[in-house]
A and B are shown apart, each in its own frame.
Chain A
Protein backbone atom coordinates (compact mmCIF):
# COMPACT_ATOMS: atom_id res chain seq x y z
CA UNK A 1 0.00 0.00 0.00
CA UNK A 2 1.21 3.51 -0.79
CA UNK A 3 2.41 5.50 2.20
CA UNK A 4 1.25 9.11 2.66
CA UNK A 5 4.33 11.27 2.90
CA UNK A 6 2.78 14.69 2.51
CA UNK A 7 -0.63 15.88 3.59
CA UNK A 8 -2.46 18.97 4.71
CA UNK A 9 -1.97 19.63 8.42
CA UNK A 10 -5.21 19.32 10.40
CA UNK A 11 -4.74 22.88 11.63
CA UNK A 12 -5.07 24.27 8.10
CA UNK A 13 -8.47 24.73 6.45
CA UNK A 14 -9.09 23.50 2.92
CA UNK A 15 -8.76 27.00 1.45
CA UNK A 16 -6.26 28.06 -1.17
CA UNK A 17 -3.81 30.69 0.10
CA UNK A 18 -4.33 34.12 -1.45
CA UNK A 19 -0.67 34.94 -0.98
CA UNK A 20 1.46 35.68 -4.05
CA UNK A 21 3.55 32.81 -5.44
CA UNK A 22 6.85 32.61 -3.57
CA UNK A 23 5.53 34.53 -0.55
CA UNK A 24 6.98 33.61 2.83
CA UNK A 25 3.62 33.94 4.60
CA UNK A 26 2.32 30.70 3.06
CA UNK A 27 5.39 28.78 4.16
CA UNK A 28 5.22 30.10 7.71
CA UNK A 29 1.48 29.37 7.91
CA UNK A 30 2.09 25.78 6.97
CA UNK A 31 4.96 25.45 9.42
CA UNK A 32 2.83 26.82 12.26
CA UNK A 33 -0.02 24.45 11.40
CA UNK A 34 2.32 21.45 11.36
CA UNK A 35 3.70 22.40 14.77
CA UNK A 36 0.25 22.84 16.25
CA UNK A 37 -0.69 19.38 14.97
CA UNK A 38 2.52 17.87 16.31
CA UNK A 39 2.10 19.47 19.74
CA UNK A 40 -1.57 18.50 19.63
CA UNK A 41 -2.68 21.96 20.76
CA UNK A 42 -5.20 22.88 18.06
CA UNK A 43 -8.03 22.93 20.58
CA UNK A 44 -6.30 25.28 23.00
CA UNK A 45 -4.58 27.62 20.56
CA UNK A 46 -5.74 31.19 19.98
CA UNK A 47 -4.02 33.16 17.22
CA UNK A 48 -4.07 36.91 16.69
CA UNK A 49 -3.51 37.87 13.03
CA UNK A 50 -2.50 41.44 12.11
CA UNK A 51 -3.46 44.10 9.63
CA UNK A 52 -1.05 43.17 6.87
CA UNK A 53 -0.95 40.58 4.12
CA UNK A 54 -1.74 37.96 6.80
CA UNK A 55 -4.97 39.69 7.83
CA UNK A 56 -6.95 36.79 6.39
CA UNK A 57 -4.94 34.16 8.27
CA UNK A 58 -8.19 32.98 9.86
CA UNK A 59 -9.30 31.78 6.44
CA UNK A 60 -6.42 29.29 6.54
CA UNK A 61 -5.75 28.39 10.16
CA UNK A 62 -8.28 26.00 11.63
CA UNK A 63 -8.13 27.09 15.26
CA UNK A 64 -9.63 30.06 17.11
CA UNK A 65 -8.46 33.48 15.95
CA UNK A 66 -9.24 37.13 16.59
CA UNK A 67 -8.09 39.99 14.37
CA UNK A 68 -6.19 42.85 16.00
CA UNK A 69 -6.15 46.44 14.78
CA UNK A 70 -2.85 47.33 13.04
CA UNK A 71 0.01 46.86 15.51
CA UNK A 72 -2.06 45.96 18.56
CA UNK A 73 -1.74 42.18 18.44
CA UNK A 74 0.60 41.89 21.42
CA UNK A 75 -1.77 43.92 23.65
CA UNK A 76 -4.66 41.69 22.66
CA UNK A 77 -2.63 38.50 22.97
CA UNK A 78 -1.34 39.56 26.41
CA UNK A 79 -4.90 40.04 27.63
CA UNK A 80 -6.18 36.79 26.14
CA UNK A 81 -3.32 34.84 27.70
CA UNK A 82 -3.85 36.44 31.12
CA UNK A 83 -7.57 35.72 30.85
CA UNK A 84 -7.03 32.11 29.74
CA UNK A 85 -3.60 31.14 31.10
CA UNK A 86 -3.77 27.52 29.94
CA UNK A 87 -4.31 28.38 26.27
CA UNK A 88 -1.50 28.79 23.76
CA UNK A 89 -1.65 32.35 22.43
CA UNK A 90 0.42 33.83 19.63
CA UNK A 91 0.32 37.01 17.61
CA UNK A 92 1.44 36.99 14.00
CA UNK A 93 2.83 40.29 12.77
CA UNK A 94 4.57 41.97 9.87
CA UNK A 95 7.42 44.42 10.19
CA UNK A 96 5.23 47.50 9.78
CA UNK A 97 2.78 46.08 12.27
CA UNK A 98 5.37 45.15 14.89
CA UNK A 99 8.24 47.59 14.43
CA UNK A 100 6.44 50.80 13.37
CA UNK A 101 2.86 51.38 14.48
CA UNK A 102 2.89 48.59 17.07
CA UNK A 103 6.41 48.95 18.47
CA UNK A 104 5.08 50.04 21.86
CA UNK A 105 2.72 47.09 22.21
CA UNK A 106 5.31 44.51 21.13
CA UNK A 107 8.11 46.07 23.21
CA UNK A 108 6.00 46.21 26.37
CA UNK A 109 4.49 42.76 25.96
CA UNK A 110 8.08 41.50 25.70
CA UNK A 111 9.19 43.60 28.64
CA UNK A 112 6.34 42.35 30.82
CA UNK A 113 7.47 38.86 29.96
CA UNK A 114 3.99 37.89 28.81
CA UNK A 115 3.81 34.15 28.32
CA UNK A 116 2.93 34.51 24.64
CA UNK A 117 4.72 33.94 21.34
CA UNK A 118 5.16 36.50 18.57
CA UNK A 119 5.74 35.29 15.02
CA UNK A 120 7.38 38.23 13.29
CA UNK A 121 7.49 38.27 9.50
CA UNK A 122 10.28 40.58 8.35
CA UNK A 123 9.89 41.13 4.61
CA UNK A 124 11.48 44.59 4.55
CA UNK A 125 8.35 46.23 3.09
CA UNK A 126 4.72 46.97 3.75
CA UNK A 127 3.32 44.15 1.66
CA UNK A 128 -0.37 44.66 1.98
CA UNK A 129 -0.50 48.36 1.18
CA UNK A 130 1.63 47.99 -1.92
CA UNK A 131 5.32 47.95 -1.06
CA UNK A 132 6.00 51.09 0.94
CA UNK A 133 9.08 51.53 3.11
CA UNK A 134 9.01 49.53 6.35
CA UNK A 135 11.10 50.12 9.47
CA UNK A 136 13.10 47.09 8.32
CA UNK A 137 13.65 48.27 4.74
CA UNK A 138 17.36 48.04 3.86
CA UNK A 139 19.48 51.15 3.25
CA UNK A 140 19.37 51.98 -0.47
CA UNK A 141 16.38 49.63 -0.97
CA UNK A 142 13.84 51.11 -3.36
CA UNK A 143 10.21 51.09 -2.28
CA UNK A 144 7.22 53.13 -3.38
CA UNK A 145 7.90 55.64 -0.59
CA UNK A 146 11.68 55.49 -0.88
CA UNK A 147 11.80 55.66 -4.69
CA UNK A 148 15.44 56.75 -4.71
CA UNK A 149 16.36 54.09 -2.14
CA UNK A 150 16.18 54.31 1.66
CA UNK A 151 18.26 57.27 2.68
CA UNK A 152 19.82 56.92 6.13
CA UNK A 153 19.82 60.67 6.75
CA UNK A 154 16.21 61.21 5.81
CA UNK A 155 14.61 57.82 6.48
CA UNK A 156 16.69 56.38 9.33
CA UNK A 157 18.08 52.88 9.63
CA UNK A 158 16.62 49.38 9.44
CA UNK A 159 15.27 48.45 12.87
CA UNK A 160 16.93 45.36 14.33
CA UNK A 161 14.06 43.98 16.34
CA UNK A 162 15.80 40.80 17.54
CA UNK A 163 18.93 42.65 18.65
CA UNK A 164 16.86 45.24 20.54
CA UNK A 165 14.27 42.93 22.08
CA UNK A 166 16.86 40.43 23.26
CA UNK A 167 18.06 43.14 25.68
CA UNK A 168 14.73 43.05 27.52
CA UNK A 169 14.78 40.99 30.71
CA UNK A 170 11.21 39.84 30.08
CA UNK A 171 12.25 37.85 26.99
CA UNK A 172 12.92 34.13 27.41
CA UNK A 173 13.50 32.93 23.85
CA UNK A 174 14.32 34.90 20.72
CA UNK A 175 15.62 33.64 17.41
CA UNK A 176 15.93 35.05 13.89
CA UNK A 177 15.33 32.56 11.06
CA UNK A 178 14.70 32.56 7.30
CA UNK A 179 12.39 30.68 4.97
CA UNK A 180 14.47 30.93 1.79
CA UNK A 181 15.57 27.28 1.51
CA UNK A 182 14.27 23.89 2.66
CA UNK A 183 17.03 23.70 5.28
CA UNK A 184 16.14 27.14 6.60
CA UNK A 185 12.43 26.29 6.65
CA UNK A 186 13.29 23.32 8.85
CA UNK A 187 15.32 25.56 11.14
CA UNK A 188 12.41 27.97 11.33
CA UNK A 189 10.11 25.13 12.23
CA UNK A 190 12.41 24.05 15.03
CA UNK A 191 12.58 27.60 16.37
CA UNK A 192 8.82 28.15 16.35
CA UNK A 193 8.25 24.78 17.97
CA UNK A 194 10.75 25.66 20.67
CA UNK A 195 8.98 28.98 21.23
CA UNK A 196 5.57 27.30 21.56
CA UNK A 197 7.03 24.69 23.91
CA UNK A 198 8.54 27.52 25.98
CA UNK A 199 5.07 28.99 26.29
CA UNK A 200 3.40 25.66 27.05
CA UNK A 201 5.95 25.11 29.82
CA UNK A 202 5.03 28.53 31.23
CA UNK A 203 8.53 29.91 30.76
CA UNK A 204 7.67 33.30 29.30
CA UNK A 205 7.88 35.51 26.25
CA UNK A 206 9.21 34.21 22.95
CA UNK A 207 9.64 35.89 19.58
CA UNK A 208 10.70 34.33 16.30
CA UNK A 209 11.73 36.78 13.59
CA UNK A 210 11.55 35.31 10.10
CA UNK A 211 13.23 36.85 7.06
CA UNK A 212 10.58 36.22 4.50
CA UNK A 213 10.41 36.83 0.74
CA UNK A 214 7.96 39.28 -0.80
CA UNK A 215 8.71 38.73 -4.50
CA UNK A 216 5.85 41.00 -5.58
CA UNK A 217 7.07 44.15 -3.87
CA UNK A 218 10.74 43.33 -4.19
CA UNK A 219 10.06 43.04 -7.93
CA UNK A 220 12.09 39.84 -8.16
CA UNK A 221 11.27 36.27 -9.00
CA UNK A 222 11.12 33.74 -6.19
CA UNK A 223 14.62 32.40 -6.76
CA UNK A 224 16.18 35.85 -6.69
CA UNK A 225 14.11 36.78 -3.64
CA UNK A 226 15.56 33.82 -1.76
CA UNK A 227 19.05 34.86 -2.88
CA UNK A 228 18.43 38.47 -1.82
CA UNK A 229 17.67 37.31 1.69
CA UNK A 230 21.03 35.54 1.84
CA UNK A 231 23.08 38.17 0.08
CA UNK A 232 21.55 41.41 1.33
CA UNK A 233 19.12 40.98 4.22
CA UNK A 234 21.30 38.74 6.37
CA UNK A 235 24.06 41.38 6.32
CA UNK A 236 21.77 43.66 8.31
CA UNK A 237 19.73 40.93 9.97
CA UNK A 238 22.04 37.99 10.77
CA UNK A 239 20.12 34.83 11.67
CA UNK A 240 20.73 33.08 14.97
CA UNK A 241 19.56 32.65 18.54
CA UNK A 242 19.62 36.03 20.24
CA UNK A 243 18.38 34.86 23.58
CA UNK A 244 17.77 31.49 25.16
CA UNK A 245 16.91 31.67 28.83
CA UNK A 246 14.80 28.53 28.71
CA UNK A 247 17.06 26.47 30.97
CA UNK A 248 17.29 29.25 33.55
CA UNK A 249 13.59 29.95 33.41
CA UNK A 250 12.92 26.25 33.96
CA UNK A 251 15.23 26.17 36.97
CA UNK A 252 13.60 29.28 38.39
CA UNK A 253 10.10 27.87 37.91
CA UNK A 254 11.10 24.55 39.51
CA UNK A 255 12.57 26.39 42.49
CA UNK A 256 9.29 28.24 43.02
Chain B
Protein backbone atom coordinates (compact mmCIF):
# COMPACT_ATOMS: atom_id res chain seq x y z
CA UNK B 1 0.00 0.00 0.00
CA UNK B 2 1.20 3.49 -0.88
CA UNK B 3 2.14 6.15 1.58
CA UNK B 4 0.56 9.52 0.86
CA UNK B 5 1.30 12.89 2.41
CA UNK B 6 -1.87 14.58 3.64
CA UNK B 7 -3.03 16.98 6.33
CA UNK B 8 -4.86 15.67 9.38
CA UNK B 9 -8.27 17.11 8.47
CA UNK B 10 -8.08 15.63 4.97
CA UNK B 11 -6.96 12.28 6.35
CA UNK B 12 -10.07 12.03 8.52
CA UNK B 13 -12.26 12.75 5.50
CA UNK B 14 -10.49 10.25 3.27
CA UNK B 15 -10.50 7.55 5.95
CA UNK B 16 -14.21 8.12 6.53
CA UNK B 17 -15.08 7.77 2.85
CA UNK B 18 -12.93 4.65 2.55
CA UNK B 19 -14.64 3.23 5.63
CA UNK B 20 -17.94 3.58 3.81
CA UNK B 21 -19.22 6.84 5.28
CA UNK B 22 -21.92 7.98 2.86
CA UNK B 23 -23.49 10.86 4.70
CA UNK B 24 -21.72 13.92 6.00
CA UNK B 25 -23.22 17.15 7.32
CA UNK B 26 -21.25 20.01 8.82
CA UNK B 27 -21.10 23.73 9.49
CA UNK B 28 -17.92 25.79 8.99
CA UNK B 29 -15.72 26.48 12.00
CA UNK B 30 -11.95 26.87 12.29
CA UNK B 31 -9.75 24.82 12.72
CA UNK B 32 -11.66 22.00 11.02
CA UNK B 33 -12.88 23.68 7.82
CA UNK B 34 -10.55 21.61 5.64
CA UNK B 35 -12.46 18.50 6.68
CA UNK B 36 -15.85 19.94 5.71
CA UNK B 37 -14.30 21.16 2.45
CA UNK B 38 -12.76 17.76 1.77
CA UNK B 39 -16.15 16.12 2.19
CA UNK B 40 -17.76 18.75 -0.08
CA UNK B 41 -15.15 18.05 -2.72
CA UNK B 42 -15.23 14.26 -2.53
CA UNK B 43 -18.46 12.95 -1.03
CA UNK B 44 -20.70 13.68 -4.00
CA UNK B 45 -18.27 11.88 -6.34
CA UNK B 46 -18.73 8.62 -4.47
CA UNK B 47 -21.70 6.47 -5.43
CA UNK B 48 -24.46 7.18 -2.93
CA UNK B 49 -22.38 9.82 -1.15
CA UNK B 50 -24.34 12.70 0.39
CA UNK B 51 -22.88 16.01 1.55
CA UNK B 52 -24.97 18.75 3.16
CA UNK B 53 -23.63 22.04 4.45
CA UNK B 54 -26.13 22.39 7.24
CA UNK B 55 -27.59 25.61 8.62
CA UNK B 56 -26.01 24.94 12.02
CA UNK B 57 -24.22 22.31 14.04
CA UNK B 58 -27.58 21.45 15.60
CA UNK B 59 -29.03 20.67 12.19
CA UNK B 60 -25.91 18.69 11.26
CA UNK B 61 -26.09 16.31 14.22
CA UNK B 62 -29.79 15.71 13.64
CA UNK B 63 -29.15 15.11 9.96
CA UNK B 64 -26.61 12.42 10.71
CA UNK B 65 -29.02 10.92 13.23
CA UNK B 66 -31.67 10.69 10.52
CA UNK B 67 -29.33 9.20 7.94
CA UNK B 68 -27.92 6.78 10.51
CA UNK B 69 -31.44 5.57 11.25
CA UNK B 70 -31.91 5.11 7.51
CA UNK B 71 -28.92 2.75 7.63
CA UNK B 72 -26.01 4.79 6.26
CA UNK B 73 -22.58 5.25 7.79
CA UNK B 74 -22.57 8.88 8.91
CA UNK B 75 -20.20 11.55 10.16
CA UNK B 76 -20.23 15.17 11.27
CA UNK B 77 -17.34 17.33 12.37
CA UNK B 78 -16.86 20.59 14.18
CA UNK B 79 -14.71 22.37 16.71
CA UNK B 80 -15.41 23.12 20.35
CA UNK B 81 -18.27 25.71 20.29
CA UNK B 82 -19.99 23.73 17.54
CA UNK B 83 -19.62 20.51 19.51
CA UNK B 84 -21.39 22.21 22.43
CA UNK B 85 -24.33 22.85 20.12
CA UNK B 86 -24.46 19.21 19.06
CA UNK B 87 -24.83 17.85 22.56
CA UNK B 88 -28.62 17.42 22.64
CA UNK B 89 -28.35 15.49 19.39
CA UNK B 90 -25.50 13.30 20.65
CA UNK B 91 -27.49 12.48 23.79
CA UNK B 92 -30.44 11.65 21.59
CA UNK B 93 -28.34 9.36 19.35
CA UNK B 94 -27.02 7.57 22.44
CA UNK B 95 -30.58 7.17 23.75
CA UNK B 96 -31.85 5.84 20.42
CA UNK B 97 -28.69 3.73 19.93
CA UNK B 98 -27.85 5.30 16.60
CA UNK B 99 -24.28 4.81 15.38
CA UNK B 100 -22.32 7.79 14.03
CA UNK B 101 -18.92 9.42 14.13
CA UNK B 102 -18.48 12.94 15.51
CA UNK B 103 -15.14 14.67 15.02
CA UNK B 104 -14.06 17.42 17.42
CA UNK B 105 -10.97 19.32 16.30
CA UNK B 106 -10.64 21.18 19.59
CA UNK B 107 -9.79 24.88 19.82
CA UNK B 108 -9.20 27.23 22.75
CA UNK B 109 -12.12 27.90 25.10
CA UNK B 110 -14.26 28.52 27.07
CA UNK B 111 -16.61 30.67 25.01
CA UNK B 112 -15.41 31.66 21.58
CA UNK B 113 -11.89 31.26 22.97
CA UNK B 114 -9.44 31.18 20.12
CA UNK B 115 -8.57 29.01 17.14
CA UNK B 116 -5.37 27.60 18.60
CA UNK B 117 -4.98 23.93 19.53
CA UNK B 118 -6.39 23.00 22.92
CA UNK B 119 -7.53 20.01 24.96
CA UNK B 120 -10.17 21.84 26.94
CA UNK B 121 -13.07 19.63 25.84
CA UNK B 122 -11.92 16.47 27.64
CA UNK B 123 -14.59 16.69 30.32
CA UNK B 124 -17.32 17.37 27.77
CA UNK B 125 -16.22 14.47 25.58
CA UNK B 126 -15.67 11.84 28.26
CA UNK B 127 -18.53 12.64 30.63
CA UNK B 128 -21.21 12.26 27.99
CA UNK B 129 -21.33 15.97 27.21
CA UNK B 130 -25.06 16.19 26.78
CA UNK B 131 -27.82 15.49 29.27
CA UNK B 132 -28.69 12.14 30.75
CA UNK B 133 -27.01 8.92 31.71
CA UNK B 134 -24.98 7.98 28.64
CA UNK B 135 -21.46 7.53 27.33
CA UNK B 136 -19.71 8.36 24.10
CA UNK B 137 -16.74 6.28 22.95
CA UNK B 138 -13.87 8.79 22.65
CA UNK B 139 -10.79 8.08 20.50
CA UNK B 140 -7.71 10.29 20.78
CA UNK B 141 -5.30 9.95 17.84
CA UNK B 142 -1.75 11.25 18.25
CA UNK B 143 -0.41 10.93 14.69
CA UNK B 144 -1.69 11.24 11.17
CA UNK B 145 -1.55 7.47 10.81
CA UNK B 146 -3.74 7.13 13.88
CA UNK B 147 -6.16 9.74 12.53
CA UNK B 148 -6.69 7.40 9.58
CA UNK B 149 -6.81 4.18 11.59
CA UNK B 150 -8.99 5.45 14.43
CA UNK B 151 -11.43 7.15 12.06
CA UNK B 152 -11.97 3.81 10.32
CA UNK B 153 -12.18 2.00 13.63
CA UNK B 154 -14.59 4.64 14.89
CA UNK B 155 -17.15 3.56 12.29
CA UNK B 156 -16.74 -0.09 13.25
CA UNK B 157 -17.13 0.65 16.96
CA UNK B 158 -20.14 2.87 16.34
CA UNK B 159 -21.86 0.04 14.45
CA UNK B 160 -20.76 -2.69 16.83
CA UNK B 161 -22.15 -0.93 19.88
CA UNK B 162 -24.78 1.21 18.15
CA UNK B 163 -23.40 4.27 19.87
CA UNK B 164 -21.95 7.63 18.88
CA UNK B 165 -18.15 7.67 18.68
CA UNK B 166 -16.12 10.85 19.03
CA UNK B 167 -12.74 11.46 17.45
CA UNK B 168 -11.10 13.98 19.78
CA UNK B 169 -8.16 15.80 18.25
CA UNK B 170 -7.04 19.42 18.18
CA UNK B 171 -6.21 22.18 15.73
CA UNK B 172 -2.58 21.09 15.57
CA UNK B 173 -3.48 17.55 14.50
CA UNK B 174 -5.98 18.89 11.99
CA UNK B 175 -3.38 21.04 10.24
CA UNK B 176 -0.36 18.73 10.59
CA UNK B 177 0.94 16.86 7.52
CA UNK B 178 2.45 13.40 7.72
CA UNK B 179 2.73 10.41 5.41
CA UNK B 180 -0.08 7.97 5.95
CA UNK B 181 -1.16 4.55 4.72
CA UNK B 182 -4.89 3.92 4.42
CA UNK B 183 -5.52 0.37 5.51
CA UNK B 184 -8.17 -1.78 3.90
CA UNK B 185 -11.37 -1.17 5.85
CA UNK B 186 -13.17 -4.12 7.39
CA UNK B 187 -16.49 -5.05 5.77
CA UNK B 188 -19.41 -3.43 7.54
CA UNK B 189 -21.30 -5.51 10.07
CA UNK B 190 -24.62 -3.92 10.94
CA UNK B 191 -27.93 -5.66 11.23
CA UNK B 192 -30.63 -4.39 8.92
CA UNK B 193 -33.21 -4.85 11.65
CA UNK B 194 -31.87 -1.69 13.29
CA UNK B 195 -32.49 0.37 10.16
CA UNK B 196 -35.62 2.39 9.56
CA UNK B 197 -36.38 2.10 5.86
CA UNK B 198 -40.14 1.85 5.64
CA UNK B 199 -42.21 -1.05 6.93
CA UNK B 200 -42.79 -2.67 3.52
CA UNK B 201 -45.48 -5.26 4.04
CA UNK B 202 -44.21 -6.00 7.55
CA UNK B 203 -44.62 -4.58 11.02
CA UNK B 204 -43.85 -0.90 11.49
CA UNK B 205 -40.98 0.27 13.72
CA UNK B 206 -40.33 3.39 15.68
CA UNK B 207 -37.16 4.85 17.08
CA UNK B 208 -37.57 7.08 20.11
CA UNK B 209 -35.85 8.36 23.22
CA UNK B 210 -39.03 9.32 25.03
CA UNK B 211 -39.88 6.70 27.65
CA UNK B 212 -42.55 8.05 29.96
CA UNK B 213 -42.83 5.06 32.27
CA UNK B 214 -40.18 5.38 35.01
CA UNK B 215 -39.59 1.65 35.31
CA UNK B 216 -39.15 1.29 31.55
CA UNK B 217 -36.85 4.33 31.56
CA UNK B 218 -34.82 2.79 34.34
CA UNK B 219 -34.54 -0.50 32.46
CA UNK B 220 -33.41 1.34 29.33
CA UNK B 221 -30.72 3.11 31.36
CA UNK B 222 -29.52 -0.17 32.86
CA UNK B 223 -29.48 -1.73 29.43
CA UNK B 224 -27.27 1.10 28.20
CA UNK B 225 -25.10 0.79 31.32
CA UNK B 226 -24.54 -2.91 30.62
CA UNK B 227 -23.49 -2.03 27.09
CA UNK B 228 -21.07 0.60 28.40
CA UNK B 229 -19.60 -1.99 30.77
CA UNK B 230 -18.93 -4.32 27.83
CA UNK B 231 -17.30 -1.46 25.93
CA UNK B 232 -15.09 -0.67 28.95
CA UNK B 233 -14.02 -4.27 29.16
CA UNK B 234 -13.29 -4.82 25.46
CA UNK B 235 -12.34 -1.53 23.91
CA UNK B 236 -9.82 0.15 26.20
CA UNK B 237 -6.68 1.09 24.27
CA UNK B 238 -3.46 2.76 25.31
CA UNK B 239 0.21 2.96 24.44
CA UNK B 240 3.16 2.52 26.80
CA UNK B 241 6.42 4.16 25.77
CA UNK B 242 9.73 3.51 27.55
CA UNK B 243 7.93 2.31 30.65
CA UNK B 244 10.12 -0.70 31.56
CA UNK B 245 12.86 1.09 33.46
CA UNK B 246 10.93 4.30 34.14
CA UNK B 247 11.21 6.11 37.47
CA UNK B 248 8.59 8.59 36.37
CA UNK B 249 5.71 8.21 33.91
CA UNK B 250 4.06 11.00 31.98
CA UNK B 251 0.38 10.64 31.17
CA UNK B 252 -0.71 12.54 28.06
CA UNK B 253 -2.93 12.06 24.99
CA UNK B 254 -3.09 13.44 21.46
CA UNK B 255 -0.82 16.37 20.64
CA UNK B 256 0.36 16.57 24.26
CA UNK B 257 1.58 12.97 24.01
CA UNK B 258 3.59 13.76 20.88
CA UNK B 259 5.32 16.61 22.68
CA UNK B 260 5.84 14.35 25.69
CA UNK B 261 7.63 11.77 23.55
CA UNK B 262 10.00 14.44 22.26
CA UNK B 263 10.64 15.58 25.82
CA UNK B 264 11.29 12.02 26.97
CA UNK B 265 13.97 11.53 24.31
CA UNK B 266 15.76 14.63 25.59
CA UNK B 267 15.40 13.63 29.25
CA UNK B 268 16.71 10.15 28.58
CA UNK B 269 19.76 11.57 26.83
CA UNK B 270 20.43 13.27 30.18
CA UNK B 271 20.00 10.00 32.03
CA UNK B 272 16.52 10.62 33.40
CA UNK B 273 14.37 7.48 33.23
CA UNK B 274 11.03 8.86 32.11
CA UNK B 275 8.31 6.99 30.21
CA UNK B 276 4.87 7.76 28.77
CA UNK B 277 1.44 6.26 29.29
CA UNK B 278 -0.82 7.41 26.46
CA UNK B 279 -4.56 6.69 26.60
CA UNK B 280 -5.84 6.09 23.05
CA UNK B 281 -9.41 5.64 24.23
CA UNK B 282 -10.30 8.48 26.60
CA UNK B 283 -13.62 6.82 27.30
CA UNK B 284 -13.30 4.05 28.24
CA UNK B 285 -10.26 5.33 30.12
CA UNK B 286 -7.50 2.72 30.64
CA UNK B 287 -7.97 2.94 34.37
CA UNK B 288 -6.89 -0.55 35.46
CA UNK B 289 -3.83 -0.57 33.19
CA UNK B 290 -2.67 2.71 34.67
CA UNK B 291 -3.31 1.49 38.21
CA UNK B 292 -1.20 -1.61 37.53
CA UNK B 293 1.76 0.64 36.76
CA UNK B 294 1.56 2.17 40.21
CA UNK B 295 2.76 -1.11 41.74
CA UNK B 296 6.27 -0.29 40.52
CA UNK B 297 6.19 3.38 39.56
CA UNK B 298 5.50 5.97 42.22
CA UNK B 299 5.82 9.20 40.29
CA UNK B 300 3.41 10.33 37.58
CA UNK B 301 3.10 13.63 35.74
CA UNK B 302 0.01 14.52 33.75
CA UNK B 303 0.55 16.92 30.86
CA UNK B 304 -2.46 18.45 29.12
CA UNK B 305 -3.24 21.48 26.98
CA UNK B 306 -5.85 22.44 29.58
CA UNK B 307 -5.93 23.39 33.26
CA UNK B 308 -6.21 19.73 34.21
CA UNK B 309 -9.12 17.57 33.09
CA UNK B 310 -7.76 14.09 32.31
CA UNK B 311 -5.94 14.68 35.60
CA UNK B 312 -9.18 13.70 37.35
CA UNK B 313 -9.23 10.33 35.59
CA UNK B 314 -5.59 9.73 36.45
CA UNK B 315 -6.35 10.45 40.11
CA UNK B 316 -9.32 8.08 40.01
CA UNK B 317 -7.15 5.42 38.40
CA UNK B 318 -4.19 5.73 40.76
CA UNK B 319 -6.34 6.07 43.89
CA UNK B 320 -3.55 7.60 45.92
CA UNK B 321 -1.09 4.75 45.23
CA UNK B 322 1.37 7.12 43.57
CA UNK B 323 2.36 10.75 43.52
CA UNK B 324 0.75 12.81 40.72
CA UNK B 325 2.05 16.09 39.38
CA UNK B 326 0.51 18.23 36.69
CA UNK B 327 1.64 20.57 33.96
CA UNK B 328 -0.93 22.38 31.81
CA UNK B 329 -0.90 24.88 28.93
CA UNK B 330 -4.53 25.93 28.44
CA UNK B 331 -4.27 29.00 26.15
CA UNK B 332 -3.41 27.49 22.80
CA UNK B 333 0.36 27.99 23.18
CA UNK B 334 1.90 24.61 22.36
CA UNK B 335 5.16 24.06 24.27
CA UNK B 336 8.18 22.61 22.49
CA UNK B 337 9.52 19.26 23.65
CA UNK B 338 12.54 20.98 25.22
CA UNK B 339 10.34 23.39 27.20
CA UNK B 340 8.37 20.45 28.49
CA UNK B 341 11.57 18.54 29.20
CA UNK B 342 12.76 21.40 31.44
CA UNK B 343 9.52 21.32 33.43
CA UNK B 344 9.67 17.55 33.83
CA UNK B 345 13.35 17.63 34.81
CA UNK B 346 12.52 19.93 37.75
CA UNK B 347 9.84 17.54 39.01
CA UNK B 348 12.08 14.54 38.39
CA UNK B 349 14.99 15.96 40.36
CA UNK B 350 12.79 17.17 43.22
CA UNK B 351 11.85 13.57 43.88
CA UNK B 352 15.27 12.13 43.16
Contact = CB atoms under 8 A, between A and B. Distances in A.
B206 A75 contact: no
B305 interface: no
B152 interface: no
A84 B197 contact: yes
B66 A66 contact: yes
A35 B235 CA distance: 48
Contact of A44 (B69, B198, B205, B210): B198
A104 B56 contact: yes
Contacts, number: 122
Given A63-B198, A66-B196, A83 B206 contact: no
A83 B197 CA distance: 10
B208 interface: yes
Nearest to A101: B58
A108 interface: yes
A43 B63 contact: no
B218 to A, nearest CB: 19
A46 B23 CA distance: 18
Contacts of B59: 72, 75, 104-105, 108
A75 B67 contact: no
Nearest to B59: A75
Contacts of A72: 58-59, 62, 89
Q: In this complex, which of A43, A62, A75, A76 has the most chain B Cβ atoms within 10 angstroms of its Cβ?
A: A75
Contacts of B198: 43-46, 63-64, 84, 87
Interface in A85-133: 87, 104-105, 107-108, 112
A104 B62 CA distance: 13
A249 interface: no
A99 to B, nearest CB: 15
A63 B204 CA distance: 5
Contact of A76 (B55, B62, B72, B206): B62
Interface residues of B, number: 38
A247 interface: no
A201 B198 CA distance: 18
Given A45-B198, A84-B198, A87-B197, A66 B208 contact: yes
A64 B199 contact: yes
Nearest to A61: B204
A219 interface: no
A75 B207 CA distance: 16
A251 interface: no
B199 A82 contact: no
B147 interface: no
Contacts of B52: 78-79, 82, 112
A67 B209 contact: yes
B46 to A, nearest CB: 14
B175 interface: no
A55 B25 CA distance: 25
Which 8 residue pairs of A and B lie closest in terms of their CB atoms, listed nearest first?
Answer: A76-B66, A79-B66, A58-B206, A83-B70, A79-B63, A72-B62, A108-B55, A75-B62
